[in-house]
């Protein structure tokens, strides 16, 4: 998988940066430095092309995901992460995803907790109707969503929260009166959440 890796403070988690549709590895570097200054970053490029726009998995239409592809791509990303850990010698990883990147991070957290058990998700929704019934005890997920987000409607985000919680993941939510974007308030809440985890 095409990616960029930047080494950071070994006492801090490496941030796995997962861009939104049409984005690239550089998109979330500024966000990473806001969330955890000094952290290393691992920023891959989504392997799926949708009319030339990089994505993490196929969709059949706006908001309608190809669930078989979601599962296959979640496995692919989990295996990539495991290999990157071995290659670069880092331990703890926190995924940071926006939109389609947040959705693939959620899919990996739900299906491959062996590879990823901490994530910060901006503008996410449930990527799978029936994730496997895994015990996610020890997993931690922070979700920030706009209450008027047309692309990641709140009920679809609520479904993701429910799926995580019923599998015993520790979930924190941040809601705001807006649409499909990363906000200053969301970043501040995510930074505080990450600091509490690190403490």
Catalytic residue among 19, 124, 149, 174: 149
Name which of 53, 90, 94 is nearest 191 in CA terms: 94
Catalytic residue among 27, 158, 180, 188: 180
Q: What percent helix, strand, coil does the chain show, rounded to 5?
A: 35, 25, 40
Q: How confident is the model at residue 43 (pLDDT cuts 50, 70, 90)?
A: very high
Catalytic, 3? Answer no
Catalytic, 75? Answer no
82-129, pLDDT tens digit by residue?
A: 999 999 999 999 999 999 999 999 999 999 999 999 999 999 999 999
Q: How confident is the model at residue 63 (pLDDT cuts 50, 70, 90)?
A: confident
Catalytic, 126? Answer no
Would you state the pLDDT for residue 32?
Answer: 98
Would you state the pLDDT for residue 62?
Answer: 84
Catalytic residue among 99, 123, 126, 139: 99
Provide CB contacts within 8 A for 53, sequence distance 6+. 21, 22
pTM score: 0.97
136-156, pLDDT tens digit by residue?
A: 999 999 999 999 999 999 999
Q: How confident is the model at residue 198 (pLDDT cuts 50, 70, 90)?
A: low
What mean pLDDT is predicted for residues 158-162?
98
- Confidence check: pLDDT of 133 > 80: yes
């Amino acid at each position: 998988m095409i990616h960029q890796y930047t080494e950071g403070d070994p006492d801090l988690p490496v941030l796995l940066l997962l861009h939104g549709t049409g984005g690239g590895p550089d998109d979330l570097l500024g966000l990473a430095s806001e969330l955890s200054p000094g952290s290393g970053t691992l920023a891959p490029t989504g392997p799926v092309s949708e009319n030339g726009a990089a994505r993490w998995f196929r969709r059949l239409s706006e908001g309608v995901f190809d669930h078989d592809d979601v599962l296959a791509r979640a496995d692919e990303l989990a295996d990539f992460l495991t290999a990157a850990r071995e290659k670069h010698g880092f331990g703890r990883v926190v995924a940071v995803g926006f939109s389609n990147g947040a959705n693939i991070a959620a899919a990996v957290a739900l299906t491959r907790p062996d590879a990823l058990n901490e994530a910060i998700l901006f503008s996410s929704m449930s990527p799978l109707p029936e994730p496997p019934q895994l015990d996610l005890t020890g997993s931690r997920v922070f979700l920030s969503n706009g209450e008027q987000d047309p692309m990641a409607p709140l009920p679809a985000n609520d479904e993701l929260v429910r799926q995580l919680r019923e599998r015993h993941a520790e979930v924190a939510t941040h809601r705001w009166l807006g649409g499909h974007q990363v906000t200053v308030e969301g970043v501040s809440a995510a930074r505080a959440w990450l600091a509490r985890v690190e403490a």
